[in-house]
């Protein structure tokens, strides 16, 4: 009979401890170090007062938001080679940074951003599963801090952030539905999903697959419901942290 608890002592429906440390990158417009247990990601949002050339050429109004993601060489047990030394960005990195960008653009009104580009950089300092979900969750917080700085400085007329956004992983591991998979669970999960959702409960993206098995409609429904509960908790943690920071 498998234990009711997981390797790290959590219940199946329990998030890892989630924390946000502000101003981790002082030269960015807004930044946090987000931790999901042992997974730690620096998320920095920087406002650049110009838009990409392609927007000018197409005469598109408003601003732009884009994201970059990387895993630092020392973030994993075995040193990870930098993309620049390999001469190309690997496919996983491209996929994740596009996901981060899509997730934030779902809640940011680019028209209200003005003729600015919001760069969101997510650098994984330590990886223990769920780096993309931690990056999205922290990237929203960094973005909201950056936007508030521009609002306070009267560089934006109105807040372009319409809602919050967060992400979490869920999966089937040893036949059990688990929330927020650590690496030891993620690497051997039978089914693995990453769910992105707004604070108002709207899905932004659902990524998932059976790694070496299939899954039923009932299991899919169960995993989505588990993710929704976890995402409500993450949204509340984001809101609580930002309320304290923005009142300073």
pLDDT at 2: 45
pLDDT at 167: 98
Residue range 68-95: mean pLDDT, rounded: 82
Number of domains in the chain: 1
Residue 1 binned pLDDT confidence (cut-offs 50, 70, 90): very low
SS3 call for 203: strand
215 falls within a domain: yes
39 falls within a domain: yes
How far are the Cα atoms of 14, 179, 214, 230 from residue 218, in angstroms, in the given order?
A: 20, 16, 12, 19
What H or E segment, with its residue span, contains residue 172?
strand 165-173
> Over pLDDT 70: what percentage of the chain?
96
**Any idea which residue has 């979900």 for tokens?**
133
Verdict on whether the full-model pTM lies above 0.85: yes
Domain that holds residue 156: 18-246
13 falls within a domain: no
What the block records as the tokens of 141 is 């917080």
Which CATH number goes with the domain that contains 174?
Answer: 3.30.230.70
189 falls within a domain: yes
pLDDT at 113: 93
Residue 3 binned pLDDT confidence (cut-offs 50, 70, 90): low
33 falls within a domain: yes
115 falls within a domain: yes
SS3 call for 123: strand
What H or E segment, with its residue span, contains residue 196?
strand 191-198
Round to whole Å and give the CA distance between 152 and 166: 25
pLDDT at 121: 97
What H or E segment, with its residue span, contains residue 43?
strand 39-48
**Strands of 39-48's sheet, edge to edge?**
18-22, 30-36, 39-48, 117-126, 64-71
**Any idea which residue has 């899905």 for tokens?**
203
Round to whole Å and give the CA distance between 179 and 16: 9
26 falls within a domain: yes
Specify the DSSP class assigned to residue 8.
T
2 falls within a domain: no
């Amino acid at each position: 009979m498998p234990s009711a608890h997981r390797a790290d002592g959590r219940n199946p429906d329990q998030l890892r401890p989630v924390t946000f440390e502000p101003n981790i990158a002082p030269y960015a417009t807004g930044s946090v170090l987000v931790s999901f247990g042992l997974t730690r990601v620096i998320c920095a949002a920087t406002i650049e007062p110009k838009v990409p050339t392609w927007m000018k050429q197409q005469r598109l109004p408003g601003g732009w938001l884009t994201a970059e993601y990387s895993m630092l060489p020392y973030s994993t047990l075995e040193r990870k080679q930098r993309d620049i030394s390999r001469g190309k960005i690997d496919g996983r990195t491209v996929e994740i940074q596009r996901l981060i960008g899509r997730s934030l653009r779902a809640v940011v009104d680019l028209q209200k951003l003005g003729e600015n580009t919001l760069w969101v950089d997510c650098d994984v300092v330590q990886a223990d599963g769920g780096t993309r979900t931690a990056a999205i969750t922290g990237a929203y917080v960094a973005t909201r801090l950056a936007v508030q700085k521009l609002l306070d400085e009267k560089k934006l007329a109105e807040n372009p952030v319409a809602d919050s956004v967060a992400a979490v992983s869920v999966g089937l591991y040893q036949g059990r539905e688990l929330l927020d998979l650590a690496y030891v669970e993620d690497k051997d999960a039978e089914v693995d999903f990453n769910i992105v959702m707004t604070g108002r409960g709207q899905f932004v993206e659902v990524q998932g697959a059976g790694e070496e098995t299939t899954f039923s409609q009932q299991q899919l429904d169960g995993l989505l419901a588990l993710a929704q509960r976890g995402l409500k908790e993450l949204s509340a943690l984001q809101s609580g942290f930002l309320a304290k920071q923005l009142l300073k």
